[in-house]
Amino acid sequence: MHELSIAHSLVELAAEEAERLGLRRVRALYLKLGVLSGVVKEALQFSFDIVTEGTSLEGADLVIEDVPVVVYCPRCQEARTLPEPMPMRCPVCGTRTADVRQGREMELYALEGDEGDGKDAPDRRDQTERSQKERLFG
């Protein structure tokens, strides 16, 4: 079950990011998961609970957002979102395409938690009104 090793990496990454963001306690992890990523959502949830047991992330929620498949249609010359991952053909004109633009990713994009007392992050003191849900990238 490769979801277990994925959960491990996820927890490591989240722990590092939580420290960087000054989060004392992580309440939720937000993950974007492409439907073509090959990761079974339920298995990942299950693995996450096992991996976090006894760590600082124990009890945190893993919130998974499904990312649909987007292909580029050479005929329409436009990116199209597929209603289902298969078949890979343009939903508008029916042209087959293997040019996948989205749907394979797995990205931890936000953490939600309680901020610490800010003793190691003085530059955050003026940001008390910012959301506790921190975007990690971009």
Residues 60-99 that bind Zn ion (CB under 5 A): 73, 75-76, 90, 92-93, 95
Smallest gap from Cβ 88 to Zn ion, in A, equals 12
Query: What is the rounded distance in angstroms from the CA atom of residue 88 to the CA atom of residue 85?
Result: 7
Decide whether 67 or 90 has the Cβ nearer to Zn ion: 90
Decide whether 75 or 135 has the Cβ nearer to Zn ion: 75
Decide whether 99 or 114 has the Cβ nearer to Zn ion: 99
Smallest gap from Cβ 97 to Zn ion, in A, equals 8
Smallest gap from Cβ 92 to Zn ion, in A, equals 5
Decide whether 38 or 94 has the Cβ nearer to Zn ion: 94
Helix or strand or coil: residue 80? strand
Query: What is the rounded distance in angstroms from the CA atom of residue 106 to the CA atom of residue 33?
Result: 5
With CB under 5 A as the rule, give the number of residues binding Zn ion. Answer: 7
CB 107 within 8 A of CB 32: yes
Secondary structure, 3-state, 84-112: CCCCCECCCCCCECCCEEECCCEEEEEEE
For residue 13, give the DSSP letter. H
CB 87 within 8 A of CB 53: no
Q: Which residue is nearest to Zn ion (CB)?
A: 90
Smallest gap from Cβ 81 to Zn ion, in A, equals 12
**Footprint of Zn ion (CB under 5 A):** 73, 75-76, 90, 92-93, 95
